[in-house]
Every structure is written in structure tokens, then in C-alpha cells.
Structure 1
């Protein structure tokens, strides 16, 4: 299964991408919301969007998810944030999950499995 990981902090992105790859996922990476939107538009095989909320560029993680859902309404989104209090009223039921930083990579992999029921 292909996951798009959007994280501007290189070491966090690298560590999480390696952990998800080790868990059996095909991981694409982006460092900004703008870059991620381009990847999403070009690759219909992406099954999960895993995004930090605070991102450089025009699109933060919430705006990225909103734009992605305009064309792919059933896309599961996992938001990673250091400020979970900012997440009120942004859920899409069972398609969204929020992971507070700091987190364990195994926690992220378990959340991917839960959202995709694999």
C-alpha cells in the first residue's frame, strides 16, 4: 500500500519513512503541502495521506487534506501535530486520525492499519 508522508523536518520524515517501509508500506515523501498536492494529483495509487499540520509554503496540512479530499473524498488522512488542541471540529469520521507529537513510529503504522483495515 502506498502512503504519502508530508513532513518538513528531514530527520523526522526519514525516520518515519524508514519505519513505515520496514512495516511493509510503499512510502512517498514530500516536504511541503504544495509539493504533496502535486504528488497526490499525479499518483492515484496513494491510499493514505500522512501529514504534519505545520508545513512551509501555501498549504498547511489541513488545507492540503481539504484540497486532496476535493477530488478523493474517501482518502484517509492522518494528521501529526505538536498541538492536538488545534484539531477540534476537523474530523471526517473514520477517515481521519490525529497523532500527537512526539509519537512512536509503531503508533503511526498501527493507525495506518486501523484506517485501512489491513
Structure 2
């Protein structure tokens, strides 16, 4: 994870098919993806690799003690340089559940929806080249 030009994303979802799909969508956008199945796995990964990660893309409902909203707050508090996108098809965040800079996207989502969301919400300097020049 040493290449400074590479943009890394951490994708977190307990559903293997959604995890695979979201990773493929972000890979197509130019991110190098890393995966976790729970909030605890995500935090463990970030404790070691946070400097290289540009984007957290997480589901809300996951097993364990920390859901996607809690993960977003933890990441915002400890690693504020990481952009945060939270996704769910069942739960929408209420006021105060997400950090101010975190954004929300509904499931199911398409590659186009995710790419447009990222282009519209991420600072351009944090976007991988393929994402910046797509669409």
C-alpha cells in the first residue's frame, strides 16, 4: 500500500455478495479495495493502514458491537482524513447519527449511482483518476 497515487477504499458489509459488488464498483472507479465483514474488522484494519485509506464505504447493519453509524463516528474521530459513505436499504440516518462530513446512499445501488455520488461528494483531489474522468 505504498504507492502515493493509489486511492485505497475500505469496504465493509457482512453480506459477501454485496461486499463483492461494492468492491467491484469502487475498483471500477479506480480504488484499490480492501474488505471487512464487521465494524470491528474495519477498525482493526484501519488501526494499521489508516494513512493509506481514502474512503470508507460501509453498510449500516452488521453483526457485532458496532454498526455502520458507529463505525462512521469512530473513523471521523480517529482518522478525519478518510471520506465516509454509509449505505443501507432499510435504515436512513437520523440527525446526529452520522458525522457531518459522512454521506449516505440507499441500497440497492448501481455503479453509476455510486460513481455519481462519489464525484459529487468527495474532494476532487481524493478521487482516483478513473472516477474523475468518467461520466
TM-score range (shorter-chain normalised) is 0.7 to 0.9
Q: Which one of the candidate residues 67, 73, 77 is aligned to 1:70?
A: 77
1:92–1:65: structure 2 CA closer, same or farther, 3 Å change rule?
A: closer
1:68–1:91: structure 2 CA closer, same or farther, 3 Å change rule?
A: closer
Shift of 1:96: 1.7
- CA distance in structure 2 between the aligned counterparts of 1:27 and 1:112, rounded to whole angstroms: 15
Equivalences, count: 116
- CA distance in structure 2 between the aligned counterparts of 1:42 and 1:113, rounded to whole angstroms: 27
Query: Which runs of 5 or more residues in structure 1 are unaligned?
Result: none
1:112–1:31: structure 2 CA closer, same or farther, 3 Å change rule?
A: same
For normalisation by structure 2, the TM-score amounts to 0.77
Query: Which runs of 5 or more residues in structure 2 are unaligned?
Result: 1-6, 128-135
For normalisation by structure 1, the TM-score amounts to 0.87
Q: Which one of the candidate residues 42, 45, 56 is aligned to 2:48?
A: 42
SS in 2 for 1:87: coil
- Work out which of the two has the higher radius of gyration on C-alpha atoms and give 1 or 2: 2
Aligned 8 A contact 1:33 1:61 in 2: yes
Q: Deviations over 1:26-85 (max 9, x none)?
A: 11110110100111111121011110000111110111111112211242210101135x
Could you say what the CA RMSD is over the residues aligned between the two structures, in angstroms? Answer: 1.6
- CA distance in structure 1 between the aligned counterparts of 2:71 and 2:118, rounded to whole angstroms: 18
Spell out structure 1 runs of 4+ moving beyond 2 A: 90-93, 109-114
SS in 1 for 2:80: coil
Matches within 5 A, 1:14-93: 14-43=20-49, 44-84=51-91, 86-89=92-95, 90-93=97-100
Q: Which one of the candidate residues 99, 106, 109 is aligned to 2:112?
A: 106
